[in-house]
Amino acid sequence: MTAQLIDGKAIAAQLKAELSEKISEKMTAGHRRPGLAVILVGADPASGIYVKNKRESCEQIGIQSFFYALPDNIEESELLKLITDLNQDTQVDGILIQLPLPHHIHASKILEHIDPRKDVDGFHPYNIGRLAQRRPLLRPCTPYGIMLLLNHIGQRFKGCHAVVVGASNIVGRPMSLELLIAGSTVTVCHRFTHDLPYFVRQADILVSAVGKPGLIHSEWIKPGATVIDVGITRLADGTITGDIEFAGAKERAAWITPVPGGVGPMTVAVLMRNTLVAAGYYDHHH
Ligand code: NAP
């Protein structure tokens, strides 16, 4: 069997087109343009690229972006003050802080200072708590983007064993909560998992979010599985690769995401969607 590719780039473009249309509709009806504040601390090149993509997407679909580029020696108190101001700014519906932050800043303290109603990354304990109680409001972008991809291909969830590799607060953990809500039986593997192949071999749905090329051997893939590769690693020759041995996995899976062009574009599209949710464009139980 050769897997069908899950074209995240195309699916994200479609979602962004829908969001753009929604904004036009709402503005015709007298709504204010939605606004997203994007905060970048320091000069990490990868973070710079992510922020640029996010701002360009805003522009493309009609969200106003407010950009704050801050030096990496900024005091934590100054950053907290900026967030306080943005929390109160009625032009700003969403606040995004590009991670990672410099070590002298406590990321969790900063993230918890964002008004949960403006937390478009979905990382605030309030929003994670809502997700854990299966009443999500603003949902972490990458896991929700993956759910949209899975829905797009008509993935069955109930009765399926979903295996998530990686347990970070921003990808692996919320991913496992999304799959649980959808009705799958979920296993989460991480650094201390003994016998990773044993679990991967059972996965009807496999999501790998670690950042280690070749971690998932293709012969572990269950024939007919749906395989989602979240990993992004830039190799010495400049190419980008995921966690899964793609060529071999493609011959066993039914569906597989490419890297790049799979999960990545969905993350940004969901960030845009979350900004519209925060702006009150959808009812909360949408
Ligand atoms: P992270 O915070 O470094 O988390 C990686 C997770 O993998 C941790 O839970 C870690 O365990 C676990 N892990 C490490 N080694 C492992 C092993 N040998 N076997 C099983 N699990 C292992 O990274 P992240 O932020 O979740 O991101 C993961 C990857 O996805 C990265 O490559 C990142 O660039 C990429 N990413 C992509 C997108 C996208 O839009 N496509 C978005 C976000 C992230 P411990 O908790 O024990 O350390």
Order across the sheet with 226-229: list the strands. 4-5, 255-256, 226-229, 205-208, 161-165, 185-189
Please give the angle made by the CA atoms of 94, 96 and 98, to the nearest 5 degrees. 170
* Predicted confidence band of residue 286 (pLDDT cuts 50, 70, 90): very low
Residue 6 lies inside a defined structural domain of this protein: no
The verdict on 97 and 185 lying in the same domain is: no
Domain with residue 43: its CATH number is 3.40.50.10860
Residues 99 and 165 in one domain: no
Q: Which residues are annotated as a binding site for NADP(+)?
A: 166-168, 232
25, part of any domain: no
Query: Among residues 81, 115, 149, which one ends one of the domains?
Result: 115
Is 246 inside a domain boundary? yes
Q: What is the mean pLDDT of residues 43-53?
A: 95
Same domain, 108 and 150: no
**Residue 3 resides in a domain:** no
pTM comes to 0.97
198 within a domain of the structure (yes/no): yes
| Banded model confidence at residue 283, pLDDT cuts 50, 70, 90 | confident
Q: Are residues 173 and 208 in the same domain?
A: yes
Side chain identity, residue 39: I
Using a 6 Å cutoff on CB, does residue 200 contact ligand 1?
A: no
Ligand 1 pocket, residue 36 CB under 6 Å: no
Predicted confidence band of residue 284 (pLDDT cuts 50, 70, 90): low
Which atom belonging to ligand 1 lies closest to the Cα atom of 145? 40
Question: Domain check: are 73 and 164 in the same one?
Answer: no
Q: Is residue 2 part of a domain?
A: no
Distance separating alpha carbons of residues 155 and 245, to the nearest angstrom: 22
Looking at the fold, whether 173 and 212 belong to one and the same domain comes out as: yes
pLDDT score of 225: 98
Q: What percent of the chain stands above pLDDT 70? A: 99
Ligand 1 in contact with 168 (CB < 6 A)? Answer: yes
Question: Does 256 lie in the same domain as 173?
Answer: yes
Whether residue 273 lies inside any domain: the answer is no
Element at 255 (helix H, strand E): strand 255-256
- Is 23 part of a structural domain of the chain? no
103, 164: one domain: no
Q: What is the mean pLDDT of the chain?
A: 97
Ligand 1 centroid, distance to 182 Cα (angstroms): 22
Do 83 and 190 belong together in one domain?
Answer: no
Q: Is 194 in the pocket of ligand 1 (CB under 6 A)?
A: no
Residues 149 and 240 in one domain: yes
The answer to whether residues 234 and 152 belong to one domain is yes
Determine which residue's CA is closest to atom 15 belonging to ligand 1. Answer: 191
74-119 pLDDT, tens per residue?
999 999 999 999 999 999 999 999 999 999 999 999 999 999 999 9
Contact in structure between 142 and 208 (CB atoms under 8 Å):
no
CATH of the domain at 179: 3.40.50.720
CA distance 164 to 145: 15
Domain count, the chain: 2
Active site residues: 54, 98, 121
Give the tens place of pLDDT for each residue, 155-171: 999 999 999 999 999 99
State whether 90 and 180 are in the same domain. Answer: no
Task: Measure the CA–CA gap between 225 and 245, rounded to whole angstroms.
Answer: 14
Residue 145 has, within 13 A of its CA and on its CB side, a CA count of 37
**Quick one: which atom of ligand 1 is closest to the CA of 171?**
26
Domain around 38: 30-115
Domain boundary among 100, 115, 130: 115
pLDDT at 219 over 70: yes
Q: Alpha-carbon distance 70 to 44, whole Å?
A: 12
What's the pLDDT band for 231 if we cut at 50, 70, 90? very high
CA dist 19 and 24 (Å) reads 9
